[in-house]
Chains A and B, each alone.
Chain A
Amino acid sequence: MENETAGVGGRESGVVERRSCSDARLPTPDTRVLALAFLLIATAASAQDIVIRDATILTITHGKIEHGSILVHGGKIAAVGTNAQVTAPAGAQVIDAAGKFVMPGIIDTHSHTAVEGSVNEISLPNTGMVRIRDVLNNEDINVYRQLAGGTTTALVLHGSANPIGGQSQIVKWKWGHPVSEWPIADAPRTIKFALGENPKSSNFRPPPGIPAQYPQTRMGVEEVIRQSFIDAKDYTARWDEYEAKKKRGDNPIPPRRDILMETMVDVLKGKIDVHSHCYRADEIMMLLNVADEQGFKIRELQHVLEGYKVAKEIAAHGVGGGTFIDWWGFKAEAYDAIPYNVALMTNAGVLTSVNSDSDELARRLNQDAAKAMKYGGLSEEEALKLCTLNGAKQLRLDHRLGSIDVGKDADIVIWTGHPFSTYSRVETTLVDGEILFDRQHDLVMRKEMAKEKTDRLKKEADDEAKNKKPGKPGNSDDEAKPEVTDEN
C-alpha cells in the first residue's frame, strides 16, 4: 500500500508532534529520496580519500593557514598544511577550495533536533531514567538543514520541564545513515538538569483538573536534586549491605533494582556528565553548592545567562558554560541576559561555548561566535573556539573534535568566505570524511525532487481520471483505490 505510506497524513503523521515550531513538518517521500541520495554519495565518498586544496584553513588550535590543504583518509584528518606540504594520493577526490575558508565542524552543545515526539517526560520531578538515544529520529529534516549551516555534532537533550529530565545523547549528524550510527561511540554519558522558571512551571499551567506539579519554587528544585542524590546514596548503601551479607554467607533478599537510582549513582561516580539548564545567578550558586555537598560534578551550565554575575565561582568549580548571545527578555529570568556574557565568562576563565537550543539557530552558530567579538571584544581566535573546540572540551571529545589537526575526525566545513562574515554560506560539509552536504549537489537534487513530485502528482491525477468510469460520477474512493495500488 505505497499510496498510504507516501501521502501526507499517512502512516507516520501521528508521530510528528513538534516542540516549539508553529509548523509541523510531515515526513514526505521527497525527504526519504533526499536521505537515500545522500546515503549513496556518502558511501561513494567514504571509499576514497579527499583532498581539500588551496583554502584558507582556520585550524582553531594553530592559527590560520593561507593556501592550505587537508588530506582526509579513513574518515580522519591525515594531513594539514600549506598546499606544498600536502600531497594528494592517487585516486583522491580533490575539492578545489581556492578563495574559500575551511573550519572544523560546528559543535552544538544544546540541541533538541531529531527527538521523536515530546522532549519532556514531564510526569515526575526526576525522570533521569529515560534516554534520548531511544527516541532519535534520523528523518528530521532539520539535521540536513544544520549540515547546510556547518553543524556536525550535537548534544541532544531532554527539555527543561522537570529538575532532572533524562539522559542526553552526543551525536554526529550522520544524515542518510542508520540512527544506530549517530551516537559517538566513545562519548561520555550525559544527563540534563534544569533550574528556574521551567522546572517550577512558571510560564505554563496544567490543564483543568490536573494538579500543579512539584516543585513550584527554586527551593523545591533544589530539594528535588538534593533528595535524588540522598536517595542514590541510600540505594548504594542497600546494595552494599546486601553484598556484605552475601559475603558473610547469609542468604539475603536482594534490593529491588531501580534504573533511576542506578543513573543517579553513576552521576555520583562521575560516569555521567551533568549538563544543567539555568538562568539566574542564585540558582547557579545553588547547583554548585548542592554538587559540592553531595559530591558530584557539573560539566556544563547550559544557557547560564547570568553566568557573568558569578563567573569567578563557576570558574573556580571548573565548570563550563554554553550560552546564547542574543536571547534575552523572553521571560523574567532572562531579563538580565546580556550579549557580553560570553566575553565576561571567558575572561573570568570559564570554558565557554555558544549553543542553539533551536533548530533555526543551530544553522548559524558561527554568527553567534562572531558576535562575541562585537559584544565584549573577544579575539577572532577566541571567538572561533566558541562554536568548535570549546564545545568539544565541554563534551570531553576534544581528542577527536573541534579543530583541524592530524588524527582528528574529518568533520570539516567549507565556506564561500570567512565564517564570521554574514555574506558567507556553507558550500560543503564533511562528517567523518564523508560529504553529507554539498550545495552544488543540493541544487541538482532539488530539481530532481521537484520533477519527481510533479510526475507523481500527474500520475495520481491520471490514475484518478482513468478510474472514473463513464456514467458513474459518484464512484467511491474505496473502489478506486485497489486499482491504483496495483499499478504502483
Chain B
Amino acid sequence: MKTKLFIAAVLVASSAFAQSVIINSPGKKPLVAIRNATIVPVTSAAIPNGTIVFNNGVITAVGANVAIPANATVIDGTGLFVYPGLIDSGSHVGLEEISAVPGTVDTAELGDINPNARAEIAVNPHSNVIPVTRVNGITTVVTEPAGGIISGSSAMIQLAGWTPQEMTLKAPLAMHIHFPRLRNNSFDEVPQDEEAAKEAAKNYTKQIDKLHDTFRDAQAYAKASAARTSHPDIKRNDRDVILEALVPVVEGREPVVMHANLERDIRAALKFADEFKLKVILADAEDVARVIPELKSRNIPVILGPILSLPPREDDPYDLVFTNAKTLNDAGIPFAIQSQDSHNARNLPYNAAACAAFGLPKDVALRSVTITPAQIFGLADKIGSLETGKLANIIVTDGDPLEIVTHVKRLFIGGEEITLDTNQTLLWEKFKARPK
C-alpha cells in the first residue's frame, strides 16, 4: 500500500510531462506454465483444462496433456481462460499523448508526400497511453502516421519495452496512403455549389497527379538504383530519401495500406494500385460491401474500423459499419479490425464484438484481432495465436476478452509479465484513499 501511495505521488509530479511511471517491462523471460485453464489457441479448438508452457519469451508447449517442467513457475488457471494477446491493426498508440496539444502529437508530418516518415521513430515508450491500451488484453499494435496523402510507414510494436527499438517487431511494416478524397472542405463530401465543386475537382486532380508523379519517380529511381547495382560504371546520383522509401513499395516487397472509405475513393485507389502493381491492404473502407468482386479478384485483405462509428451517409442502413465484417467473411475475404485510435485503442475488442452482434461468427471476430492481422502483415510465425514457437504474447482472463465485463488478470508480452497498472489505476488508488 505504501509503495502504491508513493507511486501515486510521483505520478502527479510526472503526469504534467506526460510520461508514464509504470514499469515498461521487467526484463525477465522466465519459464512459466499455466495449467487447468481453458486455452483458446485461436488457430485450433479450445482446450478445456489445458496447459501452456513458455520459456525465454517463446511458447514451448500447448495442450491437454503437457508435462510441466520441474523448474517452471506454475500459475493455476482454474476458472480462467488463456488467449493470445490481441492485435490492433491500426492505431496511433505511442505517437499521440494529448490530442489538442501539438507538442505531444507526432502523427502527421507537413505536406502530402512523406514516405520517409517512420512511425517507430516517434513512438514514446513512456506514453501513458501504452499501459492503458494493455488493460483489455492488447499486447501488440500497428502504429501509423496519418498526415497528407503518403503518410509514411507504420510499425508493428509490442506494448512493452524501454526503447522504441525494444518494442518494434517489424518496421517498416507497410506504407500508408490516405487516398485523395473528392471534397471541398473537411466537413462536406459533396460540394455545395458549382464554384466549390470546381475547386474541389481541381484540388482532387492535383492530388492524384502528385501521387502519380511520385510513384513514377519512385519506379524510375528503383530502376536506376537497380541498374547502378549491376553496372557500377553508371554515374552516381544523389540519394533521395523520399523516393528511396518508396522503392520496396513499387517493387512489391512492402505492402501499401490504402486508406479509402467511400466507394468512389476505393475504386480510384484500386485503379491506382493496379497501375503500379502494388501489394495492397485496403483500410477503413466503410463502403467495402460495394467492391467485393474487385477485392476478391485481386486477393486484397481489408482492415476494418473503427466499427463503433456512424455510417458515412444519411440514408445508409444504421448498421452498415457493423455488418461489413460479415459481408467480407461470407465472401471469403480476410479482414482484421483496427481501432484507428490512440487513447481508446483499448476498446478494440468491443469493435470486433460489434461485428459479431450483427452476424459475424464470434470465433471470426476473435480472429480479426489475433491471427488474421498477423497473417495480413506477414507475422503469423511470431504472433496471433498460441502455438509452439511463437512469441509468448499471452493474456489470462476470467472470460471472453471481447466482452466488456471480462477482466484481464495477467498479461505477458514476449514472455515477460507486464503490469496491468496504469496512471489511471494509480489515480484510482490515490483518490480511493482520500479521507472522507
Contact = CB atoms under 8 A, between A and B. Distances in A.
A229 to B, nearest CB: 30
A335 B344 contact: no
B97 A422 contact: no
Given A9-B192, A148-B319, A25 B313 contact: yes
B224 interface: no
Say what secondary structure dominates the interface of chain B: loop
A43 to B, nearest CB: 22
Among B312, B431, B432, chain A packs the most CB atoms within 10 A around the CB of B431
Contacts of B406: 374
Interface centre among B314, B362, B431 (most CB of A within 10 A): B314
B357 A24 contact: no
Contacts of B267: none
A326 B428 CA distance: 14
Given A8-B190, A9-B190, A336-B427, A331 B99 contact: yes
Contacts of B98: 329-332, 335
Nearest to B358: A425
A28 B314 contact: yes
A423 B360 CA distance: 10
Interface string B126-147: 0011000000000000000000
A110 interface: no
A137 to B, nearest CB: 12
A13 B18 contact: no
Contacts of B317: 442, 446
Given A22-B187, A339-B424, A422 B318 contact: no
A329 B357 contact: no
A26 B308 CA distance: 22
* Range class of the A interface residue count: 35 or more
Interface in A343-390: 344, 359-360, 364, 367, 370-371, 373-374, 376
B187 A330 contact: no
Among B309, B344, B406: residue with most chain A CB under 10 A: B344
Contacts of B402: 422-423
A421 B343 contact: no
Given A27-B314, A335-B15, A327 B344 contact: yes
**Shortest Cβ-Cβ A-B pairs, 6 listed:** A422-B353, A25-B314, A331-B100, A340-B428, A338-B424, A30-B315
Given A330-B343, A331-B99, 15 more contacts: A13-B192, A14-B192, A17-B187, A24-B190, A28-B315, A142-B310, A312-B436, A329-B99, A336-B427, A364-B308, A374-B404, A376-B428, A422-B403, A442-B317, A446-B317
Interface of A: 8-9, 13-14, 17-18, 21-28, 30-31, 141-142, 144-145, 148, 197, 202-203, 308-309, 311-312, 326-332, 335-336, 338-340, 344, 359-360, 364, 367, 370-371, 373-374, 376, 416, 420-425, 442, 446, 449, 453
7 contacts: A30-B315, A326-B347, A329-B98, A330-B100, A373-B405, A422-B350, A453-B315
